[in-house]
Amino acid sequence: MTRRRAALRAALVVALWSTGWAGVARAQTDAAVRVALLATTSDDPLAGRIEAELRALGFQVERSAISPEQPIDEQVRAAIAGGARAAVVADGHRTDVWVAAAGADRAGLRQELEVEEASGLQSVLALRTVEFLRISLGLATPPPVMPVAAPVPPAAPTTPPARDLDLALDVSSGVLASAGRVAPFAILGASLRAHLGRLLGLELCGYAPLNSTEQTGGDSQSHTHTTVWLAGGGLLVAPRHPARRLSAEGGVGGLAAVTRSVGQATAPLHAGTRVGVGAAVYGRAAGRLRLGTAWALRLDLLAGWTIRRPVIQIDQEDVADWGRPFVAALGGGELRF
């Protein structure tokens, strides 16, 4: 019991000591900060709330009525000249705060605060007025203002750098015909194209037969089945990255033409195999239908002129030759990578 009483006495001493220091601090604030409060009437509710808040914070409040015979500005200047650090004019739903300039007997800052008369927010206005007065007099630290970060603009879509070499591979099939005595036949074509710039590139192409044509010798007893092979390359003219779904391209170059004849004969004749080689130049035009980023459908038209014609022979007899002009039409698919 004795220990409990001792603890209670110690707590009471500490409480009295803290209260005494708070009273001293409030007395110092009262002595240092005087505020003149002017109101239109002595029972103005807004002025009463402001006075209560100021006194609760330790301010020395000098309340007086507004004189209708003297301008408000002069009454405020007189109060500040008389030693008040600030003056507050309360008028029902509006306050006018005047703060003295540092080290001077004149007003250096003025701020009007107001709410709707029928809003019932006079108590909020009183708190706002007192808080503004404390901050203006340097008796309170305003809440830290968080810096507003400038909105970061969306990053512009970056276009991947163009590669030095773009490749395209296509496979197609169609029909090849010439002006000579070799009948048209079906072919399978493949080409590899490399874009080296915005419009120009190189291409390699090859065409293989899917069937053969038959020739008959003068004695009608000798027969040969002939196939024609084409391979070569040249210059490509085409946009590197066509933006439209439909696009066109072209090319020119040279081809090697190879004919292979396999003979059939009845006794006493003997059959053999002959190979003929020729050279040609060509021009090509193509249309593309883009299906996706890498895939497209193609239609190619090929036209050429044979410089050296391969000749088909049976038993030393020329039975057919590859004509000088030739054309081909092919359709297929393309893959870009």
DSSP string covering 257-277: EEEEEEEE--TT----EEEEE
How far apart are alpha carbons 78 and 32 in whole angstroms? 18
CATH, domain range 166-336: 2.40.160.20
Residue 21 has what pLDDT? Answer: 37
Residue 45 has what pLDDT? Answer: 85
Helix (H) or strand (E) run with residue 64 in it: strand 60-65
Residue 15 has what pLDDT? Answer: 46
- Give the tens place of pLDDT for each residue, 30-81: 455 888 888 877 788 888 888 888 888 888 888 888 887 888 888 888 888 8
Rounded to the nearest angstrom, the gap between the alpha carbon of residue 40 and the centroid of all alpha carbons in its chain is 62
Q: What is the pTM of this model?
A: 0.50
Kindly give, in sequence order, each residue whose CB lies less than 8 Å from that of residue 86, ignoring residues fewer than 6 positions away: 33, 35, 36, 80, 97, 98, 99, 100, 133, 136, 137
Q: Residue ranges per domain, the chain?
A: 29-136, 166-336
Strand 317-321 versus strand 34-39 pairing type: unpaired
Contact (CB, 8 A) for 51 and 63: yes
Give how far Cα 172 sits from Cα of 13, 241, 256, 286, 297, Å.
105, 22, 19, 12, 10
Amino acid symbol at 103: G
Contact (CB, 8 A) for 278 and 309: yes
Among the listed residues 265, 288, 269, 187, the one whose alpha carbon sits nearest the alpha carbon of residue 229: 187
Which residue positions in the chain have pLDDT lower than 50? 1-2, 6-8, 10-30
Kindly give, in sequence order, each residue whose CB lies less than 8 Å from that of residue 218, ignoring residues fewer than 6 positions away: 317, 319
Residue 251 has what pLDDT? Answer: 95
Give how far Cα 230 sits from Cα of 190, 255, 283, Å.
11, 6, 14
Kindly give, in sequence order, each residue whose CB lies less than 8 Å from that of residue 171, ignoring residues fewer than 6 positions away: 188, 189, 190, 332, 333
Residue 301 has what pLDDT? Answer: 95
Residue 140 has what pLDDT? Answer: 57
Contact (CB, 8 A) for 204 and 233: yes
User: Can you read off the two tokens belonging to residue 255?
Assistant: 């081809």
Residue 252 has what pLDDT? Answer: 96
Reduced to 3 states (helix: H, G, I; strand: E, B; else coil), residue 206 is strand
Contact (CB, 8 A) for 225 and 262: yes
Residue 170 has what pLDDT? Answer: 94
How far apart are alpha carbons 82 and 78 in whole angstroms? 6
Rounded to the nearest angstrom, the gap between the alpha carbon of residue 300 and the centroid of all alpha carbons in its chain is 38
CATH, domain range 29-136: 3.40.50.800
